[in-house]
Structure 1
């Protein structure tokens, strides 16, 4: 028969011990969640909401790995965009073109990305 030794610890010491464990774990959890959100946001363009290069590449790889030859991955290049961006409307006009293009692509392909 095995015997178990029990040590009585005052409640104050137990609370201190639990607090000593809980505070760093809570801090690490909050930090990990914030970092995850920042990384997820960094994958998307803030103006259009579309995936950026790294996010697009990662997502395209996931799709092709999962569906193989049945997959369709589209990369869009706006012809003559530099002329719009450098034209009389400037970068504001370019931003409007990018936002409108993103809206149309999302309507066509769906918002899952």
Structure 2
């Protein structure tokens, strides 16, 4: 018996139309999600999950403009990192860096700009009132002193030096100037086991490309802001 085609009801026509339209729409949605993920991956350091330099800098500028004096610029430098690489190998060193990235992210929170500037050096710009600064920075130092356990079961004793500069103390909201002062304070407080807050004297420290003159890697720092 010959089959006959039955015309679609108005409801069926609408369903077919919506289904047909959804096919390219779904394709564009998937494309947008993939593109977003690729862009996000380009903005973040794959080892630590922290922002790369350009993304960190752009977000840091926005925080400084929005928060003003209730902001802290924090520079972090892993202590004795070369010795970690020498003893545990680069895989062990990478595990330590990844752990530092996770700890800095957790400490900074979602409203901060946390970035890896290169090697074992990190920076955070975050909203932070004067009343909470010392408590929060002591917390960061404790977190970074927690030993890191490697996949093979060995434990790495770690620590980091921390320098802090704030707009109200330094009299500026310029990111480059604040990073220079924080870098100088961090060097002065190396291996002391506590965060060092920058003063106006640290702003006068000679620098190269935004870093203390003579510091290893100054030629790689580039424009901080």
Are 1:84 and 1:93, in contact at CA under 8 Å, matched by a contact in 2? no
Question: What TM-score results when the alignment is normalised by the length of structure 1?
Answer: 0.62
Partner of 2:45: 45
Are 1:84 and 1:94, in contact at CA under 8 Å, matched by a contact in 2? no
2:94 is equivalent to residue 95 of structure 1: yes
Question: What TM-score results when the alignment is normalised by the length of structure 2?
Answer: 0.36
Specify the SS of the correspondent of 1:73: strand
Distance in structure 2 (CA, Å) of the matches to 1:66 and 1:37:
27
Partner of 2:104: 105
Query: Which structure 2 residue ranges, 5 or more long, are not aligned?
Result: 1-6, 113-225
> Cα distance 1:106–1:24, how it changes in 2: closer, same or farther (>3 A)?
closer
**Structural mapping, 1:7-26, within 5 Å:** 11=8, 15=16, 19=20, 21-26=21-26
Question: Which structure's residues are more often helix, by fraction?
Answer: 1
Distance in structure 2 (CA, Å) of the matches to 1:39 and 1:13:
39
Cα deviation for residue 66 of structure 1 reads 1.2
Partner of 2:27: 27
Specify the SS of the correspondent of 1:72: strand
- CA root-mean-square deviation: 3.1
Question: Which structure's residues are more often strand, by fraction?
Answer: 2
Segments of 4+ moved more than 6 angstroms:
none
Cα deviation for residue 91 of structure 1 reads 0.9
Count of matched residue pairs: 101
Distance in structure 2 (CA, Å) of the matches to 1:90 and 1:71:
37
Are 2:49 and 2:102, in contact at CA under 8 Å, matched by a contact in 1? no
Cα deviation for residue 40 of structure 1 reads 2.0
Cα deviation for residue 32 of structure 1 reads 0.6
Partner of 2:75: 75
Distance in structure 1 (CA, Å) of the matches to 2:68 and 2:44:
25
> Cα distance 1:78–1:61, how it changes in 2: closer, same or farther (>3 A)?
same
Distance in structure 1 (CA, Å) of the matches to 2:91 and 2:34:
31
Distance in structure 1 (CA, Å) of the matches to 2:65 and 2:23:
41
Q: Which segment drifts farther, 94-103 or 58-67?
A: 94-103
Query: Which structure 1 residue ranges, 5 or more long, are not aligned?
Result: 1-9
Distance in structure 1 (CA, Å) of the matches to 2:17 and 2:28:
19
